[in-house]
Amino acid sequence: MHINRPRRLRRTPALRRMVCETVLSVDDLIAPLFVVAGSDIVRPIRSMPGHAQLSVDQLDPEINEIAELRIPAVLLFGIPGHKDPIGSSGWDPEGPVPQAIRAIRRLAPQLTIIADVCVCEYTSHGHCGILADTPGSGDVLNDPTLEILARCAVAYADAGADIVAPSAMMDGQVAAIRAALDAAGHTQVAILSYAAKFASAFYGPFREAAESTPAFGDRRAYQMDPANGREALREVELDVAEGADMIMVKPAGAYLDIISTVRQRYHLPLAAYQVSGEYAMIKAAAQLGWLDERRAALESLIAIRRAGADMIITYFAKDAARWIVPALRGDSQGRVKVEDGR
């Protein structure tokens, strides 16, 4: 009697690579960067070891390293020198993100530049749009916020961004930004929509990095309830209908089911954001000797790819690029089947 024994195909590293179902590539990675107003600034982020706020004049070493590792794209967040209730520094052509876009375009023209479109880093109250007059309510006015998101997107496109990524979770933001981009002549600038962005506890370190913690209240009135999966699909459907070129699920690790379902239902390129808390947890546990950082990080990234993401925004981007070099087993494009050798 023949007995199928799957372990036969796990016996050696070569066999495991031959039957590997999920491939992680350098091409799948997007590196986030925090750009701060000012000069001569390299400010380490305490809760995100290995990352720092950088002024534009300090970007060169970081961009050169990203380019040398063949990571194809960066995602930019700005920390301004001035904040106000409407986040006007967000569309300042001399703000940190437009300046960074122009600098990166000169230094590494092959990189794809993605600019996050939100104003939580730019508003004095830390919310993602214009607030209602009710003191301390945290009630963001949807339609007035669309106007300022569109202004930010156009400013980033004017500076040379390839992709704008609206993350404020305002209803109609994709349509408003597409209309504004087209009216400004930026018909070729793509929109990567944070279509399903959950109100997550895993954003904590990011809020330190981007200096965007709300001064009062929270963002649960506009970011999604972690309990709701069907609602996430409605959000994605709306953004696709409004003209998103790519869609995103954020965070990634706790929402692999959402990534998988979105992948099955939609055929647009799908990004997943492995957020700051996911990165910080692995880093902290590794520093305490509780787990192997390389294996844990790669396993988490493979899981996101297996769920169906085409692109992964991750703070492990540079480390992962070093770990999955073509020498492990791959083609000239740096595409490898990850083998941990254990």
Contact status, residue 127 vs residue 217, Cβ threshold 8 Å: yes
Q: Cα–Cα distance between 225 and 255 in angstroms, integer?
A: 12
pLDDT at 136: 57
Instruction: Give the pLDDT confidence of 68-121 residue by residue, as tens digits.
Output: 999 999 999 999 999 999 999 999 999 999 999 999 999 999 999 999 999 999
**Phi (first) and psi of residue 246, to 5 degrees:** -140, 155
Q: Cα–Cα distance between 116 and 163 in angstroms, integer?
A: 9
Q: Cα–Cα distance between 240 and 268 in angstroms, integer?
A: 8
Given CATH 3.20.20.70, say whether it is the number of domain 24-336.
yes
Place of tokens 């000169």: 106
Tell me the pairing of strands 163-166 and 190-197. parallel
**Phi (first) and psi of residue 194, to 5 degrees:** -70, 75
pLDDT at 325: 65
User: 166 preceded by cis ω (within 30°)?
Assistant: no
pLDDT at 326: 47
Contact status, residue 131 vs residue 120, Cβ threshold 8 Å: no
Q: pTM for the whole thing?
A: 0.92
Q: Which residues of the chain have pLDDT under 50?
A: 326-336, 339-342
Which residues does the annotation mark as catalytic? 197, 250
pLDDT at 28: 97
Q: Domain limits of the chain?
A: 24-336
Residue 309, token pair as written in the block? 């993401």
pLDDT at 213: 77
Count how many Cα atoms sit within 13 Å of the Cα of residue 260 in the half-sphere of its side chain: 9
